[in-house]
Structure 1
Amino acid sequence: MTSPHDDEASSSNPPPPLTASRIYIGNKAKEILATRDITGITKLVTNLCYVYLLDSLLMDIDDLRGGLKKESLNDIKNHVSSCLLTQETSDEDFKLLSRIVSRVSVDVFIASKPWYELCSYILSLDGNKKALLLFSELPTLLDEEFLMPLLENGFGLKIVNVLLMNQDYDEEEWCLGLEAGFSLILQLVNLKNKSLVWDLVYVIVKSVWEMVNVKRREVVVRKGFVRVAKKVRREALRFREHEYEVVSRLGLMIQRINGLGEVTMMMVTMIHEVLERYYMGGQVLNHGLLNQFL
């Protein structure tokens, strides 16, 4: 059951990150007072305010179909890189930063600017979740120069291992693996190595079959495809023929898997509907049905 306060927060603006909680601020304040370091106060205020406001601003620019000015693009990119590299972040803050990276990277890659720090940062992350989350948020604009270091350092294998893991099963990690695998397919489909694209397609199909028929985790599969549908909704305006083809074929392959329940099948069908309505500037989809599964 949700409280009226929860309803109010969800209906207008998203809730603040965990670092804005009273407990976090209280503990940080004690640390700062103990050291009498004015730079600590500055850093705390910056963490609590500046990045969150930047996310709001970028959302407004995105809604208006605008872009960042070339004069400010490098400064914003460098600031975001600094946030990723130097600041301690909670899981909620990292999700916020990942969204910001995604919006900034659209203009970075459209302008054909390199972002070596971002590629290196993804490779430096320990564990799987943060790396998969950050990669999944990136737009389908990455060039071969950005992707090849990731592949050469085993990022594709990391996705495969998450999707086909038999032990230490983690629901959130599997959903992130599905979204990251789908995102990598979209990134690679226009490059020379098409075989890797279809290798990933078959890994996803195999993983979904195992999740449904062996591990009995169809609810998790459904959550994963909600994320995939949202990814298609964000990216389909940039799709070309190859992206359209691979998404359509993957959807048909998933629909043929025995054991899928009615609701999960509906989510996979919705991916086709989102694709058809957004591809090449199609009509805007009513988000109500999709959002009720979030």
Structure 2
Amino acid sequence: MQPKPASRRRTQQRYGRLGIYGFLLLSALFFAIPLYVMIITSMKGMPEIRLGQLFSLPGDPTFAAWIKAWSQACTGVTCEGIQAGFFNSIKITLPSVALSILIGSINGYALSFWRFRGANLLFGILVFGAFVPYQVVIYPMIIGFREVGLYGTLTSIILVHTMFGMPIMTLLFRNYFASLPSELFKAARIDGAGFWQIFLQIMLPLAVPIIIVAVILQTTNIWNDYLLGLIFAGSDNLPMTVQLNNIVTTTYGVREYNVNMAATMLTAAVPLAVYLLSGKYFVRGIASGAVKG
């Protein structure tokens, strides 16, 4: 007996759903397995690691490698662990995120509601800047910062991250503000509100979803940066990623894989925590600014 069309459709939908779930499961395993290996390796001693049982759980779990990675591992000529890089990354990330979001939100607001001659051209130039490889402009920036006496300072690395983050932040906020009803802006103008009053009292409170998206993006990008921190931060402000590289590549005697894995997990902890705690807001923010651009 031939199945009814409705029954056939349900069968096809069931198989399609199973295929989607299978693909999502494989994708999750693809990213979860390396994380699992890093965690269990960081909790093993070196004798157990030498057995070569990569996926086996630790027989005698210990956090000694984590303690050493944080406060005792050698990051070059000093053996004070990765903690100095953690606090340097905090000093770099917080002002860089705040400045880039502030400038990007003002740019996006101005380009959405305060149209002026050449606004589209300026927006195009800013967006173009988001796709220019920063390796192309590193050398001119080094010369520029050197000439004004800022090269190798905390100020220089903050300015660098702010400049490189501004194009994508402008794009995010411009698209979000463009999705808001223009009647809000027109009503505020009729009531006599000016540029800053409309921005601070109307637009900024409405932009909370996209601000969360911007914070997640910028925090992740800046915290995970290696090259810019290595070049512009100076020896006194090296971020956590640079310290991690020094721990992994600097070896005295035995290469301690458990310490390397623990240092890697400590370095990745902040971006992972930011995403896990605010991931749902990230999706909502992206969706809220995707209607109109």
TM-score bracket, shorter-length normalisation: under 0.3
TM-score, normalised to structure 2's length? Answer: 0.27
Report which structure shows greater RCO (CA 8 Å, sep ≥6). 2
